[in-house]
Structure 1
Amino acid sequence: MIRLYIIGLAILIIAILANGIIAKIGLKSWYGFIELLSKEGSSAFSKLNIFDYLWLFIAYPFILGIGYWLGEKISNLILN
């Protein structure tokens, strides 16, 4: 149970940092995309640029995966 908590905490910290960085860069976060989708409907997809798509569907899941990996490494160090 503690292992899952550590992994979840690592993912959360990585996600917060990633969202802060992309907000400074000007890319859409999932929150921004969902807000745009609720306002614009399906035409929201045409309002995204290629960098938004690359971020949302490739880079962000990869970065969250790194958060999982980091959490796993930290939990192994602490619990073993």
Structure 2
Amino acid sequence: MLILRMFLVGWIVLAGAILLNLLAGALHLATWYTFLQSVSAQGLTSALRALRWQDAVFLFLVYPLGLGGLAWAGGWLARQMAG
């Protein structure tokens, strides 16, 4: 049963990550993919300096909180389904 709960939580987090990336694209915000490309090309310090404040808030606050919240919600849902 633990494997099924982990699978459910994984799917919820994956779906949330996809939606957050779509939202970032629609709002013209940096994603982790684009940020890591910048790190690879420019180095960490230059990539961090090049981030707009909106991108930094999204990457370091909104994205982790969103995925963490979805993981929590998925775990809660899995526990409810287990009885």
TM-score of the alignment, normalized to the shorter chain, above 0.5: yes
Partners of 1:46 and 1:69 lie apart in 2 by 32
Counting matched residue pairs gives: 80
Equivalence map 1:20-39=2 (5 Å): 20-39=22-41
Matched with 1:56 is: 59
Cα offset, 1:51, TM superposition? 0.9
Partners of 2:46 and 2:68 lie apart in 1 by: 30
RCO comparison, higher one (Cα < 8 Å, 6+): 1
Q: How many Å apart are 1:69 and its aligned residue?
A: 1.9
* 1:61 partner letter: P
The correspondence for 1:47, drawn from 43, 46, 50, is 50
Deviations 1:13-70 (A, max 9, x none): 1111011111110111111100011111131111101111111111111000111122
How high is the sequence identity, in percent, across the aligned residues?
31
Segments of 5+ residues of structure 2 without an aligned counterpart are none
Structure 2 length-normalised TM: 0.87
